[in-house]
Structure 1
């Protein structure tokens, strides 16, 4: 594509002069190149993730060998491996096509909590991951929902199903408490109360728009 500075017009063919004033045209960037090639970017991101995966395997192998040779009290290299694995999963989920950002957020938080529980298990399981990290993750996730609803104020009702999910998620600590795996319930009580109040507040403040969203989601007429 070329442009005539005299007539202020753009010429899309390969002409060297302006068809109106016969002035020499200036070459401009093609319109096709004004926007990035999404496929090329996706391939580069995928390549970067695969490079990271290989580098993580190499690093973890070296650390595992070093940990084995200098073992004193714990296999700390396994903890590093868990962190490297979570970073890999986070990258894969974040740049995975076909999932909306709400689904990705749930997956990242859930996998993150599971990795922390695994770290707790590998270090003797003192219960801090279930007593504090799990309910704290629910509280932070609920706060993220509130922020997202204000940012996406025109479509706030789309977060109601996630609010229901957090209520179910908030019940999990009580089940674990019954099983004897979770012993300190203070943060869990706050998490459940936060989840329930957030959902009720959305229904009450949202009014008909909120009830219509629930009817649509559950196919109620």
Structure 2
């Protein structure tokens, strides 16, 4: 048996290199490793690889909620703050489940997280009497973080030019939202929305300057121009 240190998979004896990463292989460190004749061995899924971590996280979340409800029951004069803890734990798991589900496509995963977290913030704002903090602070800062995350992801994993088109549309949308909020007078504090709109303009400018020719070529190819 051969073994790839980078991918952590066993390979057939006649494998000259790893078919997953094209890297060098070495003799398997476990003498009793099971025989595997497939050219592309099965890679453990993230759910199985981190199964214990997820179980512990579920247990700790439920334990924290139960403890908070118990303390809140013993101290009722402090208000129903335990409901906020339970709601926060639920939001955490909704966001985590979506992030794990869309981990294979980072740009779309980031966009989906922005939509999901923005909607959750709006729901929290509505349920707590609507003070406007969701559209004034949370959504602009989420959009700013998303644009920064997309810029980092684009450089680290070297996105194909087709994904840059999604990136372009996303940055444009992030700029429209704060401008719309300012124009309609939805926000009382203006600088977060202005900061988000400025970040969107800078992101679009960077894309046009550094990747503009490639994106135009991709658009011509897709539109058969």
Q: TM-score range by the shorter chain?
A: 0.5 to 0.7
**Structure 2 stretches lacking a partner, 5+ long:** 3-12, 15-29
State how far apart, in whole Å, the 1-side matches of 2:72 and 2:129 are.
Answer: 18
* Helix, strand or coil at the partner of 1:182: coil
Partner of 1:16: none
Partner of 1:188: 193
Partner of 1:86: 91
Change (3 A) 1:74 1:118: farther
Q: CA deviation at 1:58?
A: 6.2
Q: CA deviation at 1:146?
A: 1.8
Q: CA deviation at 1:78?
A: 2.4
Q: CA deviation at 1:94?
A: 2.8
Partner of 1:139: 144
Partner of 2:36: 32
Q: Structure 1 length normalisation: TM-score?
A: 0.66
Change (3 A) 1:211 1:116: same
**Structure 1 stretches lacking a partner, 5+ long:** 3-9, 12-25
State how far apart, in whole Å, the 1-side matches of 2:171 and 2:159 are.
Answer: 22
State how far apart, in whole Å, the 2-side matches of 1:144 and 1:115 are.
Answer: 20
Q: Structure 2 length normalisation: TM-score?
A: 0.66
Q: CA deviation at 1:209?
A: 1.0
State how far apart, in whole Å, the 2-side matches of 1:143 and 1:37 are.
Answer: 31
- Contact 1:49–1:92 (CA<8 Å) still a contact in 2? no
Q: Which has the larger radius of gyration?
A: 1
CA RMSD of aligned residues (A): 3.9
Change (3 A) 1:31 1:192: farther
State how far apart, in whole Å, the 2-side matches of 1:191 and 1:86 are.
Answer: 24
Corresponding pairs, count: 198
Which deviates more, 79-88 or 92-101?
Answer: 92-101
